[in-house]
Amino acid sequence: MRHYRHLTPAQRRALFHREPADFGPASPVRTLGVALGATLYCPATRPRLAADVRKQADAGVVSMVLCLEDSISDAEVEGAEENLVRQFHKLLSEPEDALPLLFVRVRVPEQITDLTRRLGPAIRLLTGFVLPKFTATSGPAFLEALTGAEVMCGRRLLAMPVLESPELLHLETRADGLRAAALVVDKYRERIPAVRLGVTDFCSAYGLRRSPDMTAYDVHLVASVIADVVNVFGRADGTGYTVTGPVWEYFRAQERMFKPQLRNSPFSGRAEELRARLIEHDMDSLLQEIELDRANGLLGKTCIHPSHVAPVHALSVVSHEEYSDAVDIVGAGPEGGGVLRSAYTNKMNEVKPHRAWAARTLQRAEVFGVAREGVDFVDLLAAGIGVAA
């Protein structure tokens, strides 16, 4: 599979200086963590789940979570499990590279081994499990169950812990809780492509909910815990993980209190219709949050609506300028130092301080591609949703 595979070869050639590379369930976990992109969540109760998976794959989705936890009621769990197994078997005729990376979000550790057994040959379509409300206390049982499921099915299964418990939010327990959770995760490093943030649960602990005019970073309580999670789990010294961005909850127009945040200039003269559509559906704040995610050390995003996928992916593609700077910095070599003038003549690149940034940028370039010079996120977004730029 690859990002932007739903576009024609001619479209990709027009957009990319370097096209996205192939990856799949067997790729290194660090590659998969970077490649997840917009991870689309879907309740496992959906009666046409298999068809939904095929449809989203055709639209450019590369990772999905089929949810047995908070998206369904307690009374629906048994039926959702049965539906999940049935729908996976409907997908058996599909080649693996035609489907997204598929994860199942479970409620309890026992579901991991039980579903592995019930899926039978369809387990080859499953990349792994999402582990909810992960802490140092709850996490080991989930990860031990994952190990048991691997033995049972004879293939690698991955896990994405979700940090969303109050003890990881409350000031008096946060630091110790995050450090202890990290120690548990580190024991299973080769099975963890990413650590996810459950910001909705964090807000719930204080009775908060951000409006569609605000990003997660406008809620200072949430911004502080995001910073602490990145501090513990997102270090660039080789010990860190991909930490994914928080969910964006809105997907329909609401009455606005604040003016749109999407400037006219990137759209001027070529995609005013696209800008109007983004503002109408509150996507301007989503675009701002995606940019703030990356500025704060997060990559990828939890999504609950297909319309969020294209913006996440468009802003994940490495710009030609970023790529040029990263190549120059890495090209200076591990012993290199000093300052280089950017080929774009608009900044100075300090080789040693920017080396970790450059390495991460080249990882992102590998899976999301590099835009051609003069191609920006408006072009990529327009192509992703099928609107002329």
This prediction has a pTM of 0.91
What is the model's pLDDT at position 280? Answer: 52
Q: Of the spans 98-112, 209-223, 252-266, 281-295, which averages the highest pLDDT?
A: 98-112
Task: Work out the burial of residue 150: count CB atoms within 10 Å of its CB; fewer than 13 is exposed, 13-18 middle, 19 or more buried.
Answer: middle
What are the Cα distances from residue 203, in Å, to 94, 164, 192, 200?
39, 10, 25, 5
The per-residue pLDDT of the chain, averaged, comes to 91
Q: Is the pLDDT of residue 257 over 50?
A: no
H or E element in which residue 310 lies? helix 309-314
Q: Write down the residue that tokens 């200072």 correspond to.
A: 220
What is the model's pLDDT at position 278? Answer: 62
Q: Is the pLDDT of residue 268 over 90?
A: no
Q: Is the pLDDT of residue 261 over 60?
A: no
CA gap 163, 178 in Å, rounded: 9
Please say whether the beta carbons of 4 and 369 come within 8 A. Answer: yes
Selection from 159, 85, 160 nearest residue 125 by Cα: 85
Question: How would residue 271 be classed by pLDDT, with cut points 50, 70 and 90?
Answer: low
Domains in the chain: boundaries: 23-316, 321-368
Q: Is the pLDDT of residue 301 over 80?
A: yes
CA gap 367, 64 in Å, rounded: 17
How many other CB atoms sit within 10 Å of the CB of residue 348?
10
What is the model's pLDDT at position 87? Answer: 98
Instruction: Return the exposure string of 262-292: e unless at least 16 CB atoms fall within 10 Å of the residue's CB, then b.
Output: beeeebeeebeebbeebbebbbbbbbbbbeb
Q: Write down the residue that tokens 């609950």 correspond to.
A: 304
pLDDT (mean) for 215-244 = 95
The three-point CA angle 312-244-3 to 5° equals: 40
Tokens, residue 331? 């090209």
Q: Is the pLDDT of residue 314 over 80?
A: yes
Question: How would residue 343 be classed by pLDDT, with cut points 50, 70 and 90?
Answer: confident
pLDDT (mean) for 334-353 = 83
What are the Cα distances from residue 319, in Å, to 40, 139, 361?
24, 38, 10
Beta partners for 297?
Answer: none
What is the percentage of the chain residues whose pLDDT exceeds 90?
A: 77
> Which CATH fold would you assign to the domain 23-316?
TIM Barrel (3.20.20)
